[in-house]
């Protein structure tokens, strides 16, 4: 029996020709990543281990992005602790406010994430990196600490679900809508501890930004990881990011899949995920008219320059509804600068939006847009659980940048075709 994309990479890093589903394997790690929240706990465990140095200072990346710029003394101390650890251990890949951005945006763009790698990170959305054909998954802080000591990690080889997208996407359809459709189909635990291969002619014509969005939310189906087979689009992106070597793997034609799901995008409407699960997706036409208090555009899901371009195109020449506050958070300093250079920042500010520093911000209820009681928020982020963005009585709806921008203009959920000029 052939091997899936996930099996191929895990076998390679286990020093094997192949691995079997359900087998426990120990694999070498090409990159260990943590943010300030997961890292501070991992550092504590690392020090308890008695290890003097990390296994390889060049294969560890620490990014302060969840509560940065620090919102209070407690979070400032957390960031300080991680910063000092990086300096003490000679870890150059440390990124703080003003020097980086959201971990899942900057690490691929800087070329630290490449095809064929095994990457673990102290953040559930580490699965984002599967977009370049890497095996990447989120782990707990103790597993992160162990990997910083040993340079290896263990895992059970997952079964794989193959999701095939077919058809040409309409003008207002986006990668965010496609992944919300898949989550609706499988449910929030339909791929629990399984790998997902995203494929089909729709994916083949999709930009890397769209692919990152899709793989980012594989975890919202409970998946261990989500991957897209590398192609010419992948290689062009990697060549622009780095000249470091990489290895491309492909699934075997006779690879075994636990399930194959086909999704036709031809007549698909933009999707809005209602509270309080990402799987609660409905066509935007069924959501129109629901009034909002806040709109958020950003996060590791939709904070890239392409996302900001789409939102600015909808907003250009319009004014945000007086009853709505809108927060726009670029995914990185580079994205922020590009938004300024292209005039997108001007569009956002002139329309009445708050343009904030690159950060996870309100996505985890950290800061820069926390919700009050009974407020409703329409967001391009990845989770809408109860209390995720603030008060437990608040409600979060998930959508694409185009729907978010259109709704900011009208003050209620709106299809972008109704306001775009």
User: What pLDDT was estimated at residue 420?
Assistant: 77
Task: Examine the pLDDT at 325 and tell me if it is beyond 80.
Answer: yes
Same domain, residue pair 118 and 165: yes
Residues 94 and 213 in one domain: yes
**In the prediction, which pLDDT does 185 show?**
97
Predicted local distance difference test score (pLDDT) of residue 345: 98
The residues with which 295 forms a beta bridge, in sequence order, are 326, 378
Residues 253 and 289 in one domain: no
**According to the model, what pLDDT value does residue 307 have?**
98
Residue 50 DSSP code? T
Q: Of 238, 262, 286, which residue constitutes the final position of a domain?
A: 262
Q: Which of 199, 227, 262 is the last residue of a domain?
A: 262
Give per-residue pLDDT as tens, 362-405: 999 989 999 999 999 999 999 999 999 999 999 999 999 999 99
Pair 338, 255 in one domain: no
Here the CATH number for the domain that contains residue 315 is 3.30.499.10
Helix (H, G, I), strand (E, B) or coil at 182: helix
Q: CB burial class (10 A; 0-12, 13-18, 19+) of residue 16?
A: middle
Domain extent at residue 138: 5-262
**299 shares its domain with 231:** no
pLDDT one-digit tens code per residue, 37-60: 999 999 999 999 999 899 999 999
Domain boundary among 212, 238, 262: 262
Specify whether 53 is located in the same domain as 190: yes
Report the alpha-carbon distance of residue 421 to residue 221 in Å, rounded.
Answer: 36
Strand 225-228 and strand 31-35: the pairing is unpaired
Q: What is the signed CA dihedral for 41, 390, 364, 269, rounded to 10 degrees?
A: 160
- Same domain? For 389 and 248 the reply is no
DSSP structural state of residue 169: P
Structural element, H or E, at residue 185: helix 175-186
Render pLDDT for 104-119 as a digit per residue (tens, 0 to 9): 999 999 999 999 999 9
How open is the CA angle 15-128-221, to the nearest 5 degrees?
100
Answer yes or no: is pLDDT of 421 > 90.
no
Q: What pLDDT shows up at residue 177?
A: 98
Q: What is the helix (H) or strand (E) element at residue 338, kind and residue range?
A: helix 333-341
Three-state DSSP class for 144?
helix
Asked if pLDDT for residue 342 goes beyond 80, the answer is yes
Cα–Cα distance between 24 and 6 in angstroms, integer? 14
Within 242-332, residue ranges assigned H as helices are 299-302, 305-315
Q: CB neighbours (10 Å) of residue 354? A: 14
pTM of the entire predicted model = 0.97
Q: Are residues 202 and 315 in the same domain?
A: no
The token pair at 229 is 């087979």
Q: How far apart are CA 420 and CA 417, in angstroms?
A: 6
Distance between CA atoms of residues 305 and 130, nearest Å: 20
C-alpha 331/C-alpha 105 separation (Å) is: 6
CA separation for the pair 272, 403 (Å, rounded) = 9
Q: How confident is the model at residue 262 (pLDDT cuts 50, 70, 90)?
A: very high
Note the pLDDT tens digit of each residue in 53-81.
999 999 999 999 999 999 899 999 999 99
* 232 and 342 co-located in one domain: no
The pLDDT, as a whole number, for residue 62 is 98
* pLDDT given at position 186: 97
- Banded pLDDT at 1 (limits 50, 70, 90): confident
Domain count, the chain: 2
Q: Do residue 284 and residue 407 come from a single domain?
A: yes
192 and 211 fall within a common domain: yes
What is the per-residue pLDDT across 16-40, written as a single tens digit (0 to 9) for each?
A: 999 999 999 999 999 999 999 999 9
- pLDDT tens for 120-153 read 999 999 999 999 999 999 999 999 999 999 999 9
* Co-location of 102 and 29 in the same domain: yes
């Amino acid at each position: 029996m052939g091997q899936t994309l996930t099996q191929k990479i895990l076998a390679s890093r286990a020093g094997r020709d192949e691995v079997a589903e359900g087998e426990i394997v120990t694999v070498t790690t090409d990159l260990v990543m943590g943010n300030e929240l997961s890292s501070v706990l991992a550092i504590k465990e690392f020090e308890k281990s008695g290890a003097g140095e990390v296994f390889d200072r060049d294969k560890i990346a620490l990014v302060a992005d969840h509560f940065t710029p620090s919102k209070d003394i407690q979070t400032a101390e957390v960031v300080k602790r991680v910063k000092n650890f990086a300096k003490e251990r000679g870890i150059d890949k440390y990124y703080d406010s003003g020097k980086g951005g959201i971990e899942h945006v900057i690490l691929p763009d800087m070329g630290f994430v490449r095809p064929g790698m095994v990457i673990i990170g102290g953040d559930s959305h580490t699965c984002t990196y599967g977009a370049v054909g890497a095996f990447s998954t989120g782990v707990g802080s103790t597993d992160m600490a162990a990997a910083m000591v040993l340079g290896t990690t263990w895992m059970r080889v997952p079964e794989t679900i193959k999701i095939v997208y077919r058809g040409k996407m309409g003008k207002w359809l986006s990668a965010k809508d496609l992944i919300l459709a898949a989550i609706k189909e499988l449910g929030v635990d339909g791929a629990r501890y399984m790998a997902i291969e995203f494929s089909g002619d729709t994916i083949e014509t999709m930009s890397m930004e769209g692919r990152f969005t899709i793989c980012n939310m594989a975890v919202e189906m409970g998946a261990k990881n989500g991957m897209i087979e590398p192609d010419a689009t992948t290689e062009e992106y990697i060549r622009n990011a780095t000249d470091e070597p990489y290895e491309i793997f492909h699934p075997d034609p006779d690879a075994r899949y636990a399930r194959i799901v086909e999704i036709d995008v031809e007549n698909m409407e933009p999707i809005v995920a209602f509270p309080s699960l990402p799987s609660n997706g409905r066509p935007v036409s069924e959501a129109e008219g629901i009034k909002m208090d806040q709109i958020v555009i950003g996060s590791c899901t939709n904070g890239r320059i392409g996302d900001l371009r789409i939102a600015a195109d909808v907003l250009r020449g319009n004014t945000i509804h007086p009853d709505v506050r809108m927060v726009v958070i670029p995914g990185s300093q580079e994205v922020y600068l590009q938004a300024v250079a292209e005039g997108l920042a001007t569009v956002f500010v002139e329309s009445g939006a708050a343009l904030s520093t690159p950060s996870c911000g309100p996505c985890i209820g950290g800061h820069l847009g926390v919700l009050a009681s009974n407020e409703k928020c329409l967001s391009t982020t990845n989770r809408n659980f109860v209390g995720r963005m603030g008060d437990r009585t608040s409600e979060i709806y998930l959508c694409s940048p185009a729907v978010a921008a259109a709704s900011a203009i009208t003050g209620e959920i709106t299809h972008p075709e109704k306001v775009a000029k």
